[in-house]
Chains A and B, each alone.
Chain A
Amino acid sequence: MSTQAFGEGRVSWRRLLAGLAVTGTAAATLIVLTAQGVLAASFSVSGLPFTVTADKLEGTGFEQFATLDEMAPDSPNAGDTGGQLVLIVSAVKTAELTNLCQSVDLGGTSLKITAGDAGTPVTATNLVVDSDLVSGNASFNEIEVGRDASTLNRVPGVKGNIGVFAQQARTVTITNLRQNNFATTAATFKLAHLHMSFEPDGC
């Protein structure tokens, strides 16, 4: 592999600047297109608890059921929970969120992402979140409460374990949504009017 007869070399500053100019321009274009809500960005956050708030969530295809998350053995976060965490899994097939705010607590500072606060809402598809706290004023259409979690069919591919209480609805509207999440998986967001910053307080 490395046995080619290679001499010593070094970084050529002129070429470095040229390369950085090209990739930097492309990156800036991507960021601007995402902030305009043209391109969709994918999120999967786990391990760190993070907060999501929104003034209003309007979704079609809604499921909610409970799940038990096991922490790693001897996890320092286990406390008196015995290493198990009951979480609410909420899944929405397509959602529109106005005034979305996400923040991850990094100990001292928070990484805060806001979007959808300038007229164009954030759109999300296949949003699946594990949360230990969901609050807000919700109204549902065609809700089915008490259905077995293994028979849910409003969000394709998302099902719970057999024998677990669950509910699902065709449409959902939640105002003043607040979620304390542990994991978001495979969610695609179109983040119109994206703003990202480090701030002392979260959402």
Chain B
Amino acid sequence: MSTLDTSGTHGPADPSAGPAPSGPNPVRHERPRRFRHWRRTRPFWGGLVMLLGGAEILLTVWAPLPVVLHVGLQGSLGYLVPIVIMCGALLVIFTPAQRMFLAVVTALLGLASWLTSNLGGFVLGMLLTLVGSAMAFAWKLRTAPVAGDPADLGYPDELQPEPEREPELGRWGERESEAG
């Protein structure tokens, strides 16, 4: 409301600026829909839960650098495990095709964090990582790739999968007869 009021006070001084924001804005309605589509084409929530778990574990082991240095980097495994969990979570979101491998690796690291990183960030971070990786593992394609309007995903035309064709039996038949 307050933004509307300020635009109202500016209105008399600059009448041309008034009508522009009130007009229909297709881009503004488009954006949440595109984000929703982007979310649905990858194990987004699983990756996000994993990312939170890794971050929580990292927070519990985080120490100022001088404290780490005065005993040497013996505790570096405690940092490494949550950092790799967070990398795995980001990769699950950005390269969804590899979700199975990434989910298995992060699940194992989540279990390892119990031993290396403050009992898995005092249990909470370990649970989040395990639940997130199970969600990424359980993610399944529901619709065929690029159902409907291909322009939705913004791929260049040459990357679009070709429409399925009926198998051309005749050609195979000819080859078999040639071979025989």
Contact = CB atoms under 8 A, between A and B. Distances in A.
**Are A and B genuine complex partners?**
yes
Interface of A: 1-16, 18-20, 23-24, 26-27, 30-31, 34, 39-47, 67, 69-70, 72, 89, 111, 113, 126, 128, 130, 157-158, 183, 185-186, 196
A69 B97 CA distance: 47
B78 interface: yes
Nearest to A26: B111
Interface string B104-140: 0001001100111111001100110011011101111
A1 B95 contact: yes
B137 A27 contact: no
Interface of A (DSSP majority class): mixed
Contact of A7 (B60, B119, B141): B141
B107 A43 contact: no
Contacts of A6: 41-42, 96-97, 141, 145
Given A2-B96, A44-B118, A185-B68, A8 B143 contact: yes
11 contacts: A7-B141, A9-B41, A16-B138, A20-B130, A20-B134, A34-B114, A42-B75, A43-B118, A72-B64, A183-B63, A186-B74
Contacts of A27: 111, 114, 126-127, 130
A27 to B, nearest CB: 6
A41 B141 contact: no
B146 A7 contact: yes
A44 B159 contact: no
B7 interface: no
A69 B114 CA distance: 29
Nearest to B79: A44
B119 A196 contact: yes
Given A4-B97, A9-B41, A130-B67, A41 B143 contact: no
A186 B75 contact: yes
Bin the interface of chain B by size: 35 or more
Interface of B: 37, 40-43, 45-46, 60-64, 66-68, 70-72, 74-75, 77-78, 94-97, 103, 107, 110-111, 114-119, 122-123, 126-127, 130-131, 133-135, 137-147, 153, 155, 159-161
Contacts of A19: 103, 107, 133-134, 137-138
Given A5-B160, A11-B46, A185-B67, A42 B115 contact: yes
A114 B140 CA distance: 43
A69 B72 contact: no
Nearest to B159: A3
A39 B66 contact: no
B143 to A, nearest CB: 4
Given A20-B130, A30-B111, 15 more contacts: A2-B41, A6-B96, A6-B97, A6-B141, A6-B145, A7-B141, A7-B143, A15-B138, A15-B140, A19-B103, A24-B130, A27-B130, A40-B115, A45-B118, A185-B74
B49 to A, nearest CB: 11
Contacts of A2: 41-42, 94-96
Given A6-B97, A7-B143, A42-B77, A185 B115 contact: no
A128 B72 CA distance: 11
A113 B60 CA distance: 15
Contacts of B115: 30, 34, 39-42
Contacts of B114: 27, 30-31, 34, 41
Given A34-B114, A42-B78, A186 B119 contact: no
Given A39-B115, A185-B75, A7 B46 contact: no
